[in-house]
Amino acid sequence: MAADLPNFDTPDRLVTAVVQDASTGRVLMLAHMNRTAWEETIATGRACYFSRSRGRLWRKGEESGHVQHVREAYVDCDGDAVLLKVDQTGAACHEGFESCFFRRRTDGGWEVIGEPLVNPKTIYQQKE
């Protein structure tokens, strides 16, 4: 089985990628990969995803410069999810936060944890 991992024989031919900061363990974001994105990620050591909204490969940081260098990669028992431990340049979140998971549940609502690392208005003016 292990030779066929990850298993892209899913309805949408995608697997889910959990992205974790290799140093702090903080979960940074969730994304998706098709086989091409996975193979490029492993070959280059830089995270490449498949953007479902744009319908194409998404080389993380291609517009923002906020690239991810992959230190370790894991696959889950079912083969349809991978875990990447990365060194994140800049902010993982397009809203400028270190992590996309910046809202924490409170009694009956949500609170924003931390401050944006960068101004989201400036992220997409930076080109690699």
Does the protein bind its own copies through residue 39 (CB under 8 A)? Answer: no
- Say how far apart CA 37 and CA 45 lie, in whole Å: 11
Distance of closest approach, residue 34 Cβ to its own copies, in angstroms: 17
The number of beta carbons lying within 10 Å of the beta carbon of residue 58 is 20
77 among annotated binding-site residues: yes
Cα–Cα nearest to 66, from 127, 4, 5, 2? 127
What is the C-alpha to C-alpha distance for residues 27 and 9, in angstroms, rounded to an integer?
26
Q: Is 21 annotated as a binding residue?
A: no
Is 76 annotated to bind a ligand? Reply is yes
- Name which of residues 1 to 20 contact its own copies (CB under 8 A): 2-3, 5, 16, 18, 20
Q: Are 4 and 79 in contact (CB under 8 A)?
A: yes
Q: Residues 53, 40, 52, CA angle at the centre, nearest 5°?
A: 10
Q: Minimum distance from CB of 113 to its own copies (Å)?
A: 8
From the list 25-33, 43-51, 58-66, the region that binds its own copies by CB under 8 A is 25-33
What residue ranges bind its own copies (CB under 8 A)? 2-3, 5, 16, 18, 20, 24-27, 29-30, 42, 72-78, 81, 83, 93-95, 97, 100-105, 109-110, 113
